[in-house]
Amino acid sequence: MAVEPDTAADLVYRIFDLQRVVKCIAAASLRGKDTGVALQGVLRFVGEGESRATHLAERLGVSAPVLSRHIADLEDQGYVIRRPDPDDGRAQLVALTQPGVDKLRQIEEQRAAKLQEYLQDWSQEDAEATARTLKKLSESLKHSARAKAAGPITTTHTS
């Protein structure tokens, strides 16, 4: 059975609303920290495994120059390293350093604790059902043209 147009429109609204709220919460919790939301996003994707910078830019939906600046910032902070791709000397591979792994773990633990605080009035069952629904939604959306162009998405938890 197909989803009705009004339901699809409501889902679009809810997804964008959720995205906006999450960005606002993330931005508010990061004031004065060494890594902003954008750098944390890059850190998370790099944390999934060594990757070409061009592939990271595609997955993040940013231009190569923008990603290069983010990588340079993370490199200056000691969280990532770059090295030439042995298969293509023009390309670079980006990976986390041990401090980068530690920083990513710290960020994910802080985010989980903050979410746990915000969801104090939720039951464990509600949280698990929402996680299953969000996973199902993500899996369905991965089949979009942009998701296919950006390559496979993996989820890695560092905790």
CA distances to 20, 51, 62, 130 from 65, in Å: 25, 16, 8, 36
Q: Using alpha carbons only, what angle is made at residue 96 by residues 45 and 102, rounded to the nearest 5 degrees?
A: 100
Q: What is the pLDDT of residues 97-144, one digit of tens each?
A: 999 999 999 988 888 888 899 999 999 999 999 999 999 998 888 777
pLDDT at 148 > cutoff 90? no
| Other CB atoms within 10 Å distance of the CB of residue 42 | 26
Provide the β-strand partners of residue 84.
92
Q: What is the pLDDT of residues 45-91, one digit of tens each?
A: 999 999 998 889 888 888 989 999 999 999 999 999 999 989 888 88
Q: What is the pLDDT of residues 8-23, one digit of tens each?
A: 999 999 999 998 888 8
CATH (residue range 35-118): 1.10.10.10
